[in-house]
Structure 1
Amino acid sequence: MRTGIHPSSRAVVFRDRAAGVAFLTRSTAASERAIQWEDGNTYPLVDVEISSASHPFYTGASGVVDTAGRVERFERRYGRPAAARN
């Protein structure tokens, strides 16, 4: 690989503002802010609005789609298909 063209990877703390959870990982993200981590070292801090700690897909808090209500509303509005009337 060519030298000098890749960004430097370092330890960075990402903090999920919605869930209040922080995690330490390696990243190339730059930040002016810093935070002291549990191990006593100071790391750059990047605030994110959503992560796996607060995303509905990962937390299982996604809403259930009411498909039966949609079908009934469609049938009331447009009627039943001819094949279903028999």
Structure 2
Amino acid sequence: MDPISLEDLALLDVLHRIDQRIELTHGDCEIRQRMVESGLIEDDEFGLRLTTAGIELCKSLQHRVAADAQAEKVLQQRAQATASPDSV
């Protein structure tokens, strides 16, 4: 399994900022427009907010990050176990 891409991590960061009502930076204008067109966020008189699809994508990306972290932990434990002499 490949680790989560930097693009997906950046998308997760933007989704979190929108959910937390943190103002997006000037460089986020293009991604914001793409997210509106994709139905991930709504931009109306109430400001930016996640749609149901945006919430589900955010959850999915969070699970992926958690799974990657767990997989990395397991790999490190295995590497330590093979590098350490058995104390039998």
Normalised to the residue count of structure 1, the TM-score between the two structures is: 0.30
**Which of these two proteins has the greater Rg computed from alpha carbons?**
1
Normalised to the residue count of structure 2, the TM-score between the two structures is: 0.29
